[in-house]
Structure 1
Amino acid sequence: MMAPFWIASILLAIATINHNNNGIVQADILYAGIVYGTPGNNTPDTVEALAVCRKYGIRRIRIMETDDLAIQSLRSMGIEATLGVKDEYLPGLASSYEAAKSLFEIYLQPYVPSEFVVNYIVVGNKVIPGPNGKYVLPVVKNLQRVLADKNLTQIKVATAVSTDVLRTIFPPSHAAFSEKAQGDLIPLLQHLQETNSPLFIDVYPYHYFAAGQIRQDFATFSTHKAQYWDKTLGYWNMFDVLVDAFFWAMEKRDLDVKMVIGETGWPADGNGGLTTPELARTYNQNFLRHITAGHGTPKRPYTYREGFIYSMFYENDKPTGIDQRFGVFYTNKEPVYHLYFPYPKKHGRKGKSEKLFNTTG
């Protein structure tokens, strides 16, 4: 039997938030999500993680390094998933349609769409640029062919990249894809555009703040007017700078690919006063408000964007420091800080919000 290869991904939705009969807050439609990772010797397993999602009304999930337990746990949970392909399986899946078909039939066909919903399949996590980058496009094509054969074309196939694929960030209008990324990335983006499939991007304003390149208020969406100008475009936050850098880089290649925020977040500890629960909450809360408000970015205004908060739990097997402390929940499954999920304005509930994560119980 072939080894499991699916990595799950979470897209929380943020639209209508209600209380059920038990008084538990529920988020019915979400634009943002939370990432479940496993690097920790005391990280709750997938069954426990999904129970936390259900408790707090999280309807979509990204689960890194998933396995049979993850797939089985998703059954009948009412939680939607974005699934990924482990990097080490890319060469085999790139060379054979039958391998992609077999893996799909083993791990997903018995359950999709009757027992849980899959929104996206993400092929490789930040493997471009790198030695495995050349396999991404063939795997995407093989999986798309499998999904078409199964009449499941509503499941979109994507890949995830970081800002490492960009040659420059400032100003965003000067952004372009790096030479080391172009060879594998440009043909892939052309194909994603042709098939109406997204690109997942990692966006971390924290790193630019920690490096002393930007102010805290610009990093955490806390400014009250534009702080940075790129020609006629005024930027109120670093998040928009990074997202628009990708838009500009694609435009230079005559590309227009939908983007999903694959990861974003702020560590709650690990780097002194730069990483506190208060700052982490401020960034993540403002991120949620930002993507649900429908303002878009200076280059692409008036758009809603899907996104994923990294991460669900503290992960103590990662390198000591901030990498361990991005979690919204402690490993005992208690929230690290409060988060509120606002109603998007398009649903006619301006200004109203409900508590989702409550550290006070």
Structure 2
Amino acid sequence: MAPFWIASILLAIATINHNNNGIVQADILYAGIAYGTSGNNTPDAFEAVLVCHKYGIRRIRIMETDDLAIQSLRGTVGIIEATLGIKDEILPGLASSYEAVKSWFEINLQPYLNAPSEFVVNYIVVGNKAIPGPNAMHVLPIVKNLQQVLADNNLTQIKVATAVSTDVLRTVFPPSHATFLAQGDLIPVLQHLQATDSPLFIAVYPYHYFAAGQIRQDFATFSTHKPQHWDKTLGYWSMYDVLVDAFIWAMEKLDLDVKMVIGETGWPAAGNGGLTTPELARTYNQNFLRHITAGHGTPKRPYTYWEGFLYSMYNENGKPEGVDQRFGIFYNNREPVYHLYFPYPKKHGRKGKSEKLFNTTG
């Protein structure tokens, strides 16, 4: 069966609860794709949404939301759920007052989220890795004001978050030793997120540790057959689990337990010789999808279902030269770089059942 028709079938079942065979709807899946625009040849947001339509991808994280991105989402209720990002460059202006945040909301979102809404928003992410950095001080006031604006409009189901990378951690190995570096800016944000049941988006990239020669390939790609590293009584089968648990341990030291979303993860398909092949990228991304939908959790938080976004939809030539430009899962013509399968979470539907998401082999 050709990839297009496979995707069409998946898209059809995504709009209903169950079919006669009891196949669970696609919107229970916990994984989506991140759409970045750091390039002068990246297809626009309308093309990104068309890719989601074509391949039955139910969740998209738009890293930097603008009017074109908003317009591209209109009419996608029941098909796509969006996570919207507020780019770092406009944080100083938004942080100036409640009125500035309210105006941003009224211009960008309010016309489309009043009943009947034209698209679904799960999260709004204030800044992307703004902490640590010159815009770190602006994150908390914007998060607070945006939460109030959403509450004033009866939209409390939309959660407000911010995103960080492992750069905020002093160490990740072993994860139980992890502590935060940028505590002055970060801790008040974490305290507020916990108090409001809002998530922290984290960026985790085992590839970088593999490329630096710190870990083995199988440990980087979820491919080990037994634990490779031990932290006290916890055995680690993957670097991904190490990185996620490092955040959990660092928060525990502050008596915090903030919900987390895997805001971005992935593997470059080119740019560093044999370390960055389409096959390796497929292996990591496929195993990540299986890992989070199977509910394995991490050694520190077993049986936890994590939401996550693969990075990225396209290559981005505006990123630093080298592998950072080569994380794209799709070519600019909407065709996949490699095939992936999207498993159902085991707590839903048939255990072990997988459906094809997209496939280059036809």
Alignment TM-score > 0.5, same fold: yes
Indicate whether 1:40 and 2:39 are aligned: yes
Q: Secondary structure at the match of 1:346?
A: coil
Q: Are 1:263 and 1:309, in contact at CA under 8 Å, matched by a contact in 2?
A: yes
Alpha-carbon distance, 1:256 to partner: 0.4
Q: Quote the residue 1:173 is aligned against.
A: 176
Alpha-carbon distance, 1:18 to partner: 4.2
Which of 8, 12, 18 is the equivalent residue of 1:20? 12
Indicate whether 1:140 and 2:149 are aligned: no
Alpha-carbon distance, 1:86 to partner: 1.5
Q: Are 1:177 and 1:249, in contact at CA under 8 Å, matched by a contact in 2?
A: yes
Q: Which runs of 5+ in 1 are unaligned?
A: 1-16
Q: Secondary structure at the match of 1:28?
A: helix
2: CA distance, partners of 1:60 / 1:308: 8
Alpha-carbon distance, 1:28 to partner: 2.9
Indicate whether 1:31 and 2:27 are aligned: no
Q: Quote the residue 2:318 is aligned against.
A: 317
Alpha-carbon distance, 1:19 to partner: 6.2
User: 1:110-149, CA deviations, whole angstroms, 9 ceiling, x for partnerless residues?
Assistant: 1115100110010111011111101100110010110111
CA RMSD, 1 decimal: 1.6
1: CA distance, partners of 2:218 / 2:68: 41
Q: Secondary structure at the match of 1:336?
A: coil
Q: Quote the residue 2:120 is aligned against.
A: 117
2: CA distance, partners of 1:220 / 1:139: 37
Q: Quote the residue 1:258 is aligned against.
A: 259
2: CA distance, partners of 1:38 / 1:72: 16
For normalisation by structure 2, the TM-score amounts to: 0.91
Indicate whether 1:225 and 2:217 are aligned: no
Instruction: Give the partner amino acid of 1:188.
Output: V
Alpha-carbon distance, 1:340 to partner: 0.1
Q: Are 1:18 and 1:28, in contact at CA under 8 Å, matched by a contact in 2?
A: no
Q: Which runs of 5+ in 2 are unaligned?
A: 1-8, 14-22
1: CA distance, partners of 2:66 / 2:157: 23
2: CA distance, partners of 1:219 / 1:294: 19
For normalisation by structure 1, the TM-score amounts to: 0.92
2: CA distance, partners of 1:338 / 1:306: 21
Q: Secondary structure at the match of 2:110?
A: coil
Alpha-carbon distance, 1:314 to partner: 1.4
2: CA distance, partners of 1:51 / 1:342: 22
Matches within 5 A, 1:341-356: 341-356=342-357
1: CA distance, partners of 2:140 / 2:39: 31
Q: Secondary structure at the match of 1:111?
A: helix
User: 1:296-351, CA deviations, whole angstroms, 9 ceiling, x for partnerless residues?
Assistant: 10010111000010000111232222111101101111100010001111013112
Q: Secondary structure at the match of 2:113?
A: coil
- Give me the identity figure in percent: 84
Alpha-carbon distance, 1:41 to partner: 2.6
2: CA distance, partners of 1:134 / 1:320: 30
Shifted more, 43-52 versus 32-41: the winner is 32-41
Indicate whether 1:156 and 2:155 are aligned: no
Q: Secondary structure at the match of 1:263?
A: strand
Shifted more, 41-50 versus 219-228: the winner is 41-50
